[in-house]
Amino acid sequence: MNSVRKKVVTILCWSAVFAFAFLAAPALAAPLDAFKNLEGTLDIAGGTAHIPVMQRAARNIMSVNPNIRITVAGGGSGVGVRQVGEGLVGIGNTGRPLTEAEIAQYGLVTFPFAIDGVAVAVNPANPVKELTSAQIAGIYSGEITDWKDVGGESGGIDVYGREDGSGTRETFTEKLLGKTPLASSVNVVNSNGAMKTAIAQDKRGVGYVGIGHLEESITGIVIDGMIPTQENAASGKYTIVRNLYMNTKGTPAGLTAAFIDYIHSDEGAGIVSESGYIPIPPK
């Protein structure tokens, strides 16, 4: 009798496992199910920090429906605002909040989806691993021009910054420089990728990138004792942070709305996290 009971229990347990797997599979696929009956093209442009998230989401969506085409381009936050406002793209990404003037001019609606820290970075060969905010302001204003003046080896400092309109630049300037004017000698690059390349190739270089872009080719600097990690940005231990936004002209519909919903889904939050950012749930 005990043997029979054990068999019955075993059968019931396996039945429960198969039932759970059967029910779980549609649940896991649910976010992408929204795209199965859609078609068309969605163009996305703007902030370069957004690109890894947007590209991976686009690949996932197009893999379930070949009738959908999604393109992702950079250009910076200013480009994102202008292109979505002029109807050139469906989603314009920014690494900063929209201004009241931009909202009024273009009728934009904004959707925050991630928190990103902005890190000051140097070449891994540079012995300087910590700086104060005052030292960083001195470097970018042109008052400090030699690494030996901040604890490094003697040699000129090659300073890199982002283009006007960059959300990364705006966060860096607001959080670290304040009203300190930038030196005219700052070398301007136009994306996080270009910034990484410049610093990785220049042992005397210093610049700034989204924390999600830190990798072994560049070293994030400790600032005023704050270590640049996304975990610290999420907990408030690192305060040089910003939100990442998707913006649309008016209330989104169709493929555009579905894409934004996907980024805000649990699956989308996983993409955001794996891309090095902290997901923001929809309001």
DSSP annotation of 214 reads: -
Domain annotation covers residue 149:
yes
**What sign results for the dihedral spanned by CA atoms 168, 171, 176, 178?**
positive
| Per-residue model confidence as pLDDT tens digits over 5-53 | 443 333 334 434 334 333 333 444 578 999 999 999 999 999 988 999 9
pLDDT value at position 20? 37
Helix ranges (DSSP H) in 34-150: 51-64, 77-85, 100-106, 133-141
Q: Which domain holds residue 110?
A: 32-114+244-279
Of the ranges 109-113, 146-150, 207-211, which one carries the lowest mean pLDDT score? Answer: 207-211
CATH classification at residue 139: 3.40.190.10
The CA-CA-CA angle for residues 262, 118, 135, to 5°, reads 175
Are 157 and 192 contained in the same domain?
yes
Mean pLDDT of 240-244: 93
Tell me the HSE value of 134 on the side-chain side, using a 13 A CA sphere.
2
The angle formed by the CA atoms of residues 112, 121 and 196, to the nearest 5 degrees, is 75
Q: What is the rounded distance in angstroms from the CA atom of residue 205 to the CA atom of residue 5?
A: 72
| 279: nearest Cα among 213, 247, 233, 227 | 233
CA atoms of 221 and 72, how far apart (whole Å): 30
Same domain for 158 and 263: no
User: Rounded to an integer, what is the distance from CA 232 to the centroid of its chain?
Assistant: 16
- pLDDT value for 29: 52
pLDDT (mean) for 214-228: 96
| Burial class of 71 by CB neighbour count within 10 A (0 to 12, 13 to 18, 19+) | middle
Distance CA 176, CA 36 (A): 46
Q: How many domains does the chain have?
A: 2
What pairs with residue 71 in β-bridges?
43
The verdict on 102 and 121 lying in the same domain is no
- Look up the pTM and report it: 0.74
Q: Are both 195 and 97 inside the same structural domain?
A: no
7 within some domain: no
Structure confidence by residue, pLDDT tens digits, 160-217: 999 988 888 989 999 999 889 999 999 999 988 899 999 999 999 999 998 988 999 9
